[in-house]
């Protein structure tokens, strides 16, 4: 096995237009590929039709959060790409099975989240683990960004270009999570951009409110943690949501609905059975850490997310017949504001660190 190279880190600073422009300039090639609608439409869609749909979502976003339009227009300017096509690439809800900007078909995201807090951790610390699975071709496009945006807490994110997969801010908020397949999508603020809005928030209450905003187009399963010790998983759809809290110091989620309230919104029952394999294994790993009795640390959480048991496994490797693998991973001590992350699989990866300590 070959340890992959580190994920590049860029630092951006200024108002929303300025930081967007800086990201666009730094990730121009990746953004141009992601925004090439002609390569994405396939047989079932047309560029004209996708642009028309994107314009509806853009109108809603411009009314609700005009700063997001400024930021994405800055990205388009920096990358020399059509602003509407950058916005279209930000809307998973209009693509269905067609690959979108961050590299996976809607409904096919493979991410696993494990969270441990007291009594499994020392001193009430909150420790989060996450694996992010995409197409192997997307692994070279990963970028880490340190954001210093006017009137926002500094934040650190990982994803492709301006499209955020996971993030943390200096106010103490941690946001990971995983993609769901809700069956009630509607025109609204795209969930991929909703993540960006949530990371501006300083408290758990503000972040949960942003996750539950009624004008959302759909939802992820947003796994939120805070330096103050609070942990909430918002298992949402476009029109409904259930809040999940740790049970006996543990919480896990993968890519299907697990709460009774949300089961009726499952849009891919067949895939939910596959996701449940990782969900059950995540709980087994957390139970094993509890039974062992040693406090959960960044090191033991990384060991947990490096697990290869089951098919699919939490740490997923490239293999013949599959177009999905773990392209990056992260573990975080949210209480200390320390994030450890890396490209590729957690079992064989160069470790990188970012501190968001007060």
Task: Write out pLDDT tens, residues 328-358.
Answer: 999 999 999 999 999 999 999 999 999 998 7
Token pair, residue 314, equals 């939490």
- Distance CA(32)–CA(336), nearest Å, equals 37
Q: Which residues pair with 341 in a beta bridge?
A: 330, 352
Question: Is the predicted pLDDT of residue 192 greater than 60, yes or no?
Answer: yes
Place of tokens 């905003």: 213
Token pair, residue 153, equals 């807490």
CB neighbour burial string for 69-93, b if at least 16 within 10 angstroms, e if fewer: bbbbbbbbbbbebebbbbbbbbbbb
Question: Is the predicted pLDDT of residue 97 greater than 60, yes or no?
Answer: no
CA distances from 342 to 4, 94, 142, 163, 261 (A): 8, 30, 10, 17, 35
Task: Write out pLDDT tens, residues 54-94.
Answer: 999 999 999 999 999 999 999 999 999 999 999 999 999 99
Alpha carbon 77 to its chain centroid, in Å, reads 25
Peptide bond before 119: cis, by omega within 30 degrees of 0?
A: yes
| Cβ–Cβ < 8 Å for 109, 99 | no
- What local confidence, expressed as pLDDT, does residue 101 receive? 39
Question: Considering only 227-236, 241-250, 319-328, which range has the smallest mean pLDDT?
Answer: 319-328
The DSSP code sequence of 106-151 is TT--EEEEEEE-TTSSGGG--EEEEEEEE-GGGGGGEEEEEEEETT
Q: pLDDT > 90: what percent of the chain?
A: 90
CATH number, domain 110-355? 3.60.60.10
- What local confidence, expressed as pLDDT, does residue 24 receive? 98
Q: Which residues pair with 224 in a beta bridge?
A: 175, 232
Question: Is the predicted pLDDT of residue 105 greater than 80, yes or no?
Answer: no
Task: List Cβ neighbours of 106 (8 Å cut-off, separation of 6 or more).
Answer: 92, 93, 95, 96, 97, 98, 100, 179, 181
Domain definitions of the chain by residue range? 9-94, 110-355
- Distance CA(296)–CA(289), nearest Å, equals 7
Res. 236 pLDDT band, cuts 50 70 90 = very high
| Sheet hosting strand 127-134, strand order edge to edge | 250-253, 110-116, 127-134, 325-333, 338-343, 352-355
* Average of per-residue pLDDT values in the chain: 94
Average pLDDT over residues 128-149: 96
Report the alpha-carbon angle 222-223-227, nearest 5: 130
* pTM across the whole model: 0.95
- Distance CA(50)–CA(58), nearest Å, equals 12
- What local confidence, expressed as pLDDT, does residue 193 receive? 98
- What local confidence, expressed as pLDDT, does residue 357 receive? 87
Nearest CA-CA partner of 137 in 352, 328, 327: 327
Res. 2 pLDDT band, cuts 50 70 90 = low
> Residue 311 belongs to what H/E stretch?
none
């Amino acid at each position: 096995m070959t340890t992959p190279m580190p994920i590049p880190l860029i630092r951006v600073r200024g108002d929303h237009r300025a930081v967007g422009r800086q990201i666009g300039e730094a990730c121009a090639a990746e953004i141009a590929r992601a925004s090439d609608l002609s390569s994405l439409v396939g047989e079932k869609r047309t560029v004209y039709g996708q642009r028309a749909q994107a314009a509806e979502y853009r109108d809603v976003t411009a009314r609700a959060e005009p700063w997001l339009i400024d930021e994405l227009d800055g990205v388009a300017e920096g990358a020399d790409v059509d602003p509407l096509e950058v916005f279209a690439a930000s809307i998973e809800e209009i693509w269905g099975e067609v690959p979108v900007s961050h590299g996976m078909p809607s409904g096919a995201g493979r991410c696993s989240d494990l969270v441990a807090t007291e009594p499994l951790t020392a001193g009430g610390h909150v420790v989060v683990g996450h694996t992010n699975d995409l197409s192997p071709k997307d692994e070279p496009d990963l970028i880490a960004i340190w954001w210093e945006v006017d009137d926002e807490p500094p934040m650190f994110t990982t994803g492709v270009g301006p499209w955020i997969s996971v993030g943390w801010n200096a106010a103490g908020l941690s946001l990971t999570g995983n993609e769901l397949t809700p069956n009630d999508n509607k025109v609204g603020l795209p969930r991929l951009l909703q993540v960006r809005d949530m990371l501006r928030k300083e408290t758990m209450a503000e972040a949960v409110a942003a996750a539950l905003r009624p004008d959302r187009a759909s939802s992820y399963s947003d796994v939120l943690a805070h330096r103050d010790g609070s942990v909430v998983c918002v298992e949402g759809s476009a029109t409904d949501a259930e809040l999940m809290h740790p049970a006996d110091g543990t919480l896990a989620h993968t890519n299907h609905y697990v709460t009774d309230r949300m089961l009726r919104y499952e849009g891919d029952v067949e895939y939910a059975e596959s996701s449940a394999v990782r969900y059950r294994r995540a709980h087994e790993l957390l139970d094993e850490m509890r039974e062992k009795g040693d406090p959960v640390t960044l090191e033991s959480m990384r060991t947990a997310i490096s697990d290869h048991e089951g098919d699919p496994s939490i740490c997923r490797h490239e293999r013949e017949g599959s177009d999905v693998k773990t392209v990056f991973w992260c573990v975080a001590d949210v209480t200390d504001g320390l994030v450890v992350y890396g490209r590729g699989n957690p079992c064989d990866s160069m470790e990188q660190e970012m501190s968001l300590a007060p």
